[in-house]
Amino acid sequence: MSSAQGFGSNSPRTKLTQSQLNLVLARHEAFRKSLPGGARANLKLRDLSHLDLSGMDLAEADLSGAKLFSARLTGTSLANAILYAADLRLANLEGADLRRADLRGACLRGAVLNDAVMSEADLRDGTLLHYSPGGEISQHQFDDSVLTSELTAATARGVDLSRAKLASAFVMQTDLTDSILRGAKFMRANLTNSNLTGADLTGADLSEANMSGTKLSGALLAGATIARANFAGANLIGAILDAAQVASGNLAGAVMAKTMANPDEDLRDLLVEHLKWIDSGGKEGQRADLSTVDLSGRALEGINLSAAILHCIALRGASLAGSTLAIADMSLADLRDVNFTKADLRGINFERATLTGADLTGALLSPVHIQTMSGHVWRANLQRARLGKAILRGADLAKVNLSGADLSGADLTGANLREADLTGTDFTGAILDSTILENANGATAIGLELTPG
């Protein structure tokens, strides 16, 4: 099987200088604006290695077989561009626009794609082509004529690959943390040992994909097709799964949340030791650690798990009304439909936790003032938390970190968001009647209009 790196290795590639490239780009800009003298950028088989194309407009340009090794393309527009079999190894495409780009057979090994938009991009197999000195194209006739798109060892945190086509692509050892992969086509793709922590794979097609060794903590897999996929050794603790997916048997070999053999007795003993630990300032007893444990549906009203370690815990449908969980670590936890009414959640860590449909009416999520010489203030962290359709009526969220969180459809009637960090927070369809937003940082929030002062 051929790789994109080898495309056109025996074909002539003309090396362009930065000034030559700038001339091509100026004419392309005129073309894009329908101005006289404009011409679509034709950079087929050009060598643009190490050049700086940051922030430039290359939308609809033809870069088939181009060599962009270690090129700088931060914030570059490549929407609808042809990058067929392009060599983009080690290229910096952070924040680039690659919507609907043709990346069939392209090699992005080691590339940086953080926050890039690649929705509907095509990264399927390509066919090896030859270009004659006269510019004629002919198809390779041998068995190794397939060019497989490659994202191996790429860094693509927060990348948007929604509805992208990645069938049979190599996406091994790639960092896709917090990526948007809704509706993406990963059939037969190899994602071995990739990091998909917090990724949104809603409705994605993973049929026959190799997911072995992947990290999927906090990932959304609702509605994803996983038929005949290989999840051997994959970490699915804290992942959001459909009941049908869990029952299908397709997750055999995956690492899942643990269950307690004697939950009533084990929990009672654990809570006794934890209270001793709290009362003695850590000198006696033992700090509670329920990380990766499945306690879904349990009645846990009024318990005290302050400062407990509850990373990746599964509590779907459980009741913790009136409980004390100040400064507890509940990052990447499955907290769908949990009852947190009037709970003490001051300084809690809900980073990347899923609280869809949870009831936090009257809950306290304000800061905790640590009694030390420095007088440290411990703020609640809900960064990238999923709170869609959650109930937060009258909740105290003063100074909370909600950057990148999803509050779409949430009920925030009478909630206190004074001085909250709302950078990139999604409030689409949220109820904001009598919500206090004084001095909140919400300039980049979605669906939110802040009145000056």
CATH of the domain at 262: 2.160.20.80
Per cent of the chain over pLDDT 90 is 82
In order of 122, 151, 233, the CA distances from 107 in angstroms are 13, 7, 27
- 107: in domain: no
- 234: in domain: no
- Give the CB-side neighbour count of residue 4, counting CA atoms within 13 A: 32
User: Which of 170, 60, 179, 64 lies closest to 124, judged by CA?
Assistant: 170
Residue type, 162: S
Q: Which domain holds residue 392?
A: 257-453
Question: Per-residue confidence at 369, pLDDT binned at 50, 70, 90?
Answer: confident
Helices (H), 169-279: 243-247, 263-279
Query: Which residue did the predictor score with more confidence, 170 or 134?
Result: 170
Evaluate if residue 183 carries a pLDDT over 70. Answer: yes
Q: What is the pLDDT of residues 387-405, one digit of tens each?
A: 999 999 999 999 999 999 9
In order of 91, 114, 121, 363, 426, the CA distances from 366 in angstroms are 43, 31, 42, 9, 20
Mean pLDDT, residues 195-210: 97
18 near 36, Cβ under 8 Å? Answer: no
Q: What is the C-alpha separation between 343 and 258, in angstroms, rounded?
A: 25
302 near 282, Cβ under 8 Å? Answer: no
Between CA 364 and CA 370, with CA 366 as vertex, the angle to 5 degrees is 115
360 near 382, Cβ under 8 Å? Answer: no
63 near 81, Cβ under 8 Å? Answer: yes
- 211: in domain: no
- 76: in domain: no
Total domains in the chain come to 1
- 93: in domain: no
Beta-bridge partner residues of 82 = 62, 102
Q: Which of 173-177, 252-256, 287-291, 338-342 has the lowest mean pLDDT?
A: 252-256
Kindly give the pairing relationship between strand 129-131 and strand 137-139.
antiparallel
Q: For position 165, what pLDDT does the model report? A: 97
In order of 147, 206, 224, 244, 292, the CA distances from 249 in angstroms are 33, 15, 14, 9, 20
- 230: in domain: no
Backbone angles phi, psi at 140, to 5 degrees: -65, 140
Contacts for 433 with CB less than 8 Å, ≥ 6 apart: 413, 414
Evaluate if residue 281 carries a pLDDT over 50. Answer: yes
- 301: in domain: yes
Evaluate if residue 136 carries a pLDDT over 70. Answer: no
Q: How confident is the prediction for the chain on average, in pLDDT?
A: 91
- 209: in domain: no
Question: Per-residue confidence at 14, pLDDT binned at 50, 70, 90?
Answer: confident
Q: For position 450, what pLDDT does the model report? A: 64
* pTM reported for the whole predicted model: 0.86
User: Which of 91, 188, 141, 131 lies closest to 9, judged by CA?
Assistant: 131
